[in-house]
């Protein structure tokens, strides 16, 4: 078996989204089979690209230029599925990137188990959203998408704790806030395929946020740092948008993100009026 960091970089360098998720799932299965057989496979070292390879379509636009569509229309719902597919594809790359990028910091093997599992689940999520789009006569790449999503990864390319604070603990936690509303839209439209897919995503995303919180707290403990203060500092440094309520306090708590992590930041940025 190749060292894990090399497999991670191979996923990052694959442009075609379906080939990317297929590789991602195959590598995850290889890793998990070795771990279940009691092995400790090598992590190795392999420098990830600053940006992952991406297909020619969708066109990536500035967030302000992505057209807004009403969720009450079939086109609007297709746009939601497309946006979620795009988020999931970014998430596949984000999880393999955290595996390869910070190998200079020694971590317990469980850290890699968690992110391999998360990367595998994101690949499944992308495939689920792609299938929903295809049933609607569309496909990933048919609509423009948000260009800003890799920014958090670039901003935290040299700051491991910053990466954990911003990606799983802010961005993926935001997913927990907004997914129930999306599920409602597809329930109203009687699209059970999309409802089922979004329920899978919603259940599994709680774990990704929890992995972020677990390893963030682990590193705080290693360096004898106050987790709440450090989290606030890192989010102020690397996150360039508002933390905006309503927050899904119950799911955030389940994922190990207590209210004093996010409410003070929401107050500071003026998101509470």
Binding site for Fe ion (CB under 5 A): 88, 91, 122, 125, 172, 205, 208
CB of 205 to Fe ion, least distance (A): 5
Pick the closer one to Fe ion by CB: 89 or 107: 89
CB of 272 to Fe ion, least distance (A): 26
Pick the closer one to Fe ion by CB: 185 or 225: 185
CB of 246 to Fe ion, least distance (A): 20
User: Which DSSP state fits 64?
Assistant: G
Residues ≥6 apart with Cβ < 8 Å to 206: 176, 251, 254, 255
Report helix angle 192-222 to 227-238, nearest 10.
120
Pick the closer one to Fe ion by CB: 122 or 177: 122
Distances (CA, A) of 214 to 21, 66, 224: 26, 34, 15
Pick the closer one to Fe ion by CB: 200 or 272: 200
CB of 39 to Fe ion, least distance (A): 26
CB of 15 to Fe ion, least distance (A): 20
Please choose, from the candidates 174, 173, 169, the residue with its C-alpha nearest in 3D space to the C-alpha of residue 212. 169
CA atoms 119, 80, 207, 212: torsion sign: positive
Give the residue at shortest CB distance from Fe ion: 208
Q: Does residue 238 contact residue 155 with C-beta atoms inside 8 Å?
A: yes
Pick the closer one to Fe ion by CB: 121 or 234: 121
């Amino acid at each position: 078996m190749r060292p894990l960091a090399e497999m991670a970089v191979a996923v990052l360098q694959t442009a075609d989204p379906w080939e990317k998720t297929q590789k991602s799932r195959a590598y995850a299965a290889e890793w998990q089979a070795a771990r279940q057989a009691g092995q400790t496979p090598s992590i190795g070292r392999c420098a990830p690209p600053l940006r992952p390879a991406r297909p020619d379509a969708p066109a990536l636009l500035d967030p302000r230029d992505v057209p807004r569509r009403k969720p009450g229309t079939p086109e609007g719902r297709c746009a939601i599925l497309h946006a979620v597919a795009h988020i999931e594809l970014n998430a596949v790359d984000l999880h393999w990137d955290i595996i390869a990028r910070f190998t200079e910091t020694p971590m317990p093997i469980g850290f890699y188990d968690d992110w391999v599992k998360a990367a595998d689940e994101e690949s499944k999520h992308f495939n689920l959203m792609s299938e929903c789009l295809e049933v609607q006569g569309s496909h990933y790449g048919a609509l423009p998408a948000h260009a800003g999503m890799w920014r958090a990864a670039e901003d935290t390319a040299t700051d491991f704790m910053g990466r954990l604070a911003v990606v799983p603990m802010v961005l993926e936690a935001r997913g927990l806030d907004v997914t129930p509303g999306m599920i409602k839209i597809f329930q109203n439209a009687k699209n059970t395929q999309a409802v089922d897919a979004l329920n899978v995503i919603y259940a599994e995303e709680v774990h990704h946020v929890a992995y972020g919180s677990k390893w963030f707290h682990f590193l705080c403990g290693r360096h004898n740092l106050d987790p709440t203060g450090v989290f606030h500092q890192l989010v102020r440094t690397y996150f360039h948008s508002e933390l905006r309520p309503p927050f899904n306090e119950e799911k955030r708590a389940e994922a190990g993100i207590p209210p004093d992590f996010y409410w003070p930041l929401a107050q500071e940025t003026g998101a509470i009026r």
